[in-house]
A and B are shown apart, each in its own frame.
Chain A
């Protein structure tokens, strides 16, 4: 079966700085995949290559078998990072959602009743129909994420691309967003997202791709999330704890105390705090080292 998204030996650089080097990747219809890697690893650039807003210096990107050379990707819904949105822009939730069907709209400056009905149906599907008339600034983080998801869904995408959908929201909202994405995936939408949240990816995403300028590994989280793969991806010592079917990823603790890093906790006033510290606490320095049993 032909993959929906295909990157063949793609290299990309900003000016002279290399960002991606000889990346080959396939994403089949119905897949739900997350790109993970440190900041600057090329995750967002890879998404933009898939969207067609960046062009590779070498190699080729194809959607549904068609090369994206100088044209945007067809049938794609995109949810950008919330941090990049201008929240003061004077638009309502409904207006933002309707932007997603611009490809299908005619030249009239107003939206048809059918278009508005469609927008409300999508908003209802995401349980935010009651917010249609509200300014985008006056929403919670989770609601904001859903609004941009609604804009992507109204475009009737085969492929949904999301840049950091769980960043800038609390843990519970992040979990809700990932559950929602899993639901959409079950309804047949192929999903490609980036995330820094390895634990959520391990719990909710069936396929992960570890990248740091090149693909380090890809597969199911239980196969890919190992100390060795993640340490290579993040260029630092990473620790994977497997407990009761759960995968918990953590950076390996350093063997030094907080005082080694911050010798002067209150700059300019070290003496009074030292004097006030009890003998007991002075003998038991605060440490980031975890007990052996947990580190396992």
Chain B
């Protein structure tokens, strides 16, 4: 059991594992709604858009969390409104708006080359450089997002299932969409330090889609997605510590392994179901 305890003597491991587990839970929770809305690409797009916001915040000397958060929130709202009010589909709206936002960041970096080094952490994640203050921010965001999801649980479920019909039954779907956009922007900012822009999309989508393969129940899907997110966050930190590879990449690779496992289990389950059906027919 020594190997389990040994890494905890290092401060960077203690903060790292805490933030990795929190980000895993947060992404797993929101990922369920993203996957079921068929907007898997939004995590990828929004993280890139927020990178643009982060650079703008830096140039304008705004607080990183507020600047990038507001930028991400406005981008998410813009995507929602463009997809709903125009003939452009959600995928195209994500493609156009988030890429343009990312391009703003790249353009600013190329204009002020001296900033380049500062954004490596945002791009690729720097979990080992996380401070306890940052852990507290991520914990705060996680608790807040979880509270929002609990309070708006029924409205969110109905809106995700069928937004138009939910509106008929009195759900204020515009408010729910805005609330969700806010939660998503906050989650991406919180996870940026852990995974980096390039890997956030995977952390949002893989636990949720893995959970979907394992169950037909919405509540269980949420539970599984959060559990997979937390477990991969913790395991990823250990593997990264002992094998000496980047933590963000390790976490995503572990999640991918879970996904392949779930795919096999679900395939076997379907085969067994078909065989049982044949037996019944015979």
Which residues of the partner chain A approach B36 to less than 8 Å between Cβ atoms?
Answer: 89-90
Q: Closest B-chain residue to A161, C-beta based?
A: B168
A80 touches B162 (CB 8 A): yes
A155–B169 alpha-carbon span in the complex (Å): 8
Q: Which of B210-269 contact A (CB under 8 A)?
A: 212, 215-218, 221
CB of A99 within 8 A of CB of B154, answer yes
Assess A105 versus B154: contact at CB under 8 Å? Given A90-B212, A90-B215, A95-B218. Answer: yes
Task: Check A89 against B161 for contact (C-beta < 8 Å).
Answer: yes
Residue of B nearest to A79 (CB): B165
Interface extent on B, as a size class?
Answer: 20 to 34
| Given A86-B161, A91-B161, A95-B218, residue A51 in contact with residue B170 (CB < 8 A) | no
- Interface stretch among A70-78, A198-206, A277-285? A70-78
Compute how far the CA of A91 lies from the CA of B155 in the bound complex, rounded to whole angstroms.
Answer: 14
Task: Give complex CA distance A100, B169 in Å.
Answer: 7
A295, CB-defined interface residue at 8 Å: no
Pair A80/B154 contact, Cβ less than 8 Å: no
Q: Is the CB of A78 within 8 A of B218?
A: no
Asked if B170 contacts A72 (CB within 8 A), the reply is yes
Q: Is the C-beta of B166 less than 8 angstroms from some C-beta in chain A?
A: yes
CB distance from A231 to the nearest CB of B (A): 34
CB of B246, distance to nearest CB on chain A (Å): 33
- Write the chain A residue with the least CB distance to B172: A72
B216/A90 in contact, CB under 8 A = yes
Contact partners of B165 in chain A: CB under 8 A: 78, 80
Residue A185 at the B interface, CB < 8 A? no
Q: Is the CB of B164 within 8 A of A92?
A: no
Q: Is residue A113 within 8 Å, beta carbon to beta carbon, of the partner chain? A: no
Q: B108: CB under 8 A from chain A?
A: no
From B160, B161, B168, contact of A72 by CB (8 A): B168
Task: Tell me, yes or no, whether B171 is within 8 Å of chain A by CB.
Answer: yes
B131 contacts partner chain A, Cβ-Cβ < 8 Å: no
- Choose among A89, A92, A102, A107 the residue that contacts B170 (Cβ–Cβ < 8 A): A102
CB <8 Å contact, A90 and B168 = no
Choose one: A78, A84, A107, A135; the contact of B169 (CB below 8 Å): A78
Please tell me which one of the listed residues A78, A84, A90, A109 contacts residue B154 in the complex, with CB atoms under 8 A apart: A109
With A and B bound together, what is the CA distance between A184 and B179 in angstroms?
38
Of chain B, the residue at the smallest CB distance from A137 is: B216
22 contacts across the A-B interface (CB closer than 8 A) = A51-B168, A53-B167, A72-B169, A72-B170, A76-B168, A78-B165, A78-B168, A80-B162, A80-B164, A84-B162, A86-B161, A86-B162, A89-B160, A90-B215, A90-B216, A90-B218, A98-B154, A99-B166, A99-B169, A102-B154, A105-B154, A109-B153
Residues of B near any A CB (own CB < 8 A): 36, 150-151, 153-155, 157-158, 160-162, 164-171, 212, 215-218, 221
Using A89-B161, A91-B218, A102-B155 as known contacts, list a sample of 14 further A-B pairs with CB atoms less than 8 Å apart, ordered by residue number in A.
Answer: A51-B168, A53-B167, A72-B169, A84-B162, A89-B218, A90-B36, A90-B216, A90-B221, A95-B157, A95-B218, A99-B158, A105-B154, A109-B153, A109-B154
